[in-house]
């Protein structure tokens, strides 16, 4: 297992590319067998599936921005507590808090599981939740 500071740095680079909505850079920092579970309950496995969902998500989140509130390494995981601004240029438009749980392997993100505190987040992005 990589040292904690290496895992933290890998996730910080990944999140910076995520905020830039740079799908190519995000995917370059992911393992070929990446598993991504998003805030709307979807599970996507492998580069192709994750790239497709991020292409759509980045369009929906074009004005949004994730702010890291805390980041820590726990065992082989990295946990990020974040606040998502619906419009970075107009913070008064609202925000929501959530958490991402990562697994880093060989300097690349192998898992990213996202949890959000409110269903309003996914509804404001125009996503329908399963069972809604």
Q: Does some domain include residue 129?
A: no
**Beta-carbon count within 10 A of 128 CB:** 9
pTM of this structure: 0.85
Q: Does some domain include residue 131?
A: no
Q: Residue 116: pLDDT band by 50, 70, 90 thresholds?
A: confident
Q: What is the per-residue pLDDT for 125?
A: 66
Q: How many domains does the chain have?
A: 1
Q: Does some domain include residue 95?
A: yes
Give the Cα separation of 42 and 44 in Å (integer): 7
41-47: list long-range contacts, CB under 8 Å, 24+ apart: 41/129, 41/130
Q: Residue 104: pLDDT band by 50, 70, 90 thresholds?
A: very high
Task: Return the biggest CA–CA distance within the chain.
Answer: 42
Q: Does some domain include residue 94?
A: yes
Q: Does some domain include residue 132?
A: no
Q: What is the per-residue pLDDT for 2?
A: 80
10-36 average pLDDT score: 97
């Amino acid at each position: 297992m990589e040292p904690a500071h290496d895992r933290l740095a890998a996730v910080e680079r990944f999140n910076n590319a995520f905020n830039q909505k740079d799908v190519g850079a995000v995917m370059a920092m992911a393992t070929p067998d990446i598993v991504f579970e998003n805030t709307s309950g979807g599970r996507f496995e492998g580069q192709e599936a994750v790239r497709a969902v991020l292409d759509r998500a980045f369009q929906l989140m074009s004005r949004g921005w994730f702010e890291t509130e805390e980041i820590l390494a726990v065992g082989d995981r990295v946990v990020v507590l974040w606040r998502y601004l619906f419009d970075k240029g107009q913070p008064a438009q609202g925000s929501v808090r959530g958490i991402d749980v990562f697994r880093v392997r060989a300097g690349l993100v192998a898992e990213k599981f996202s949890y959000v505190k409110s269903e309003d987040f996914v509804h404001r992005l125009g996503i329908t939740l399963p069972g809604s």
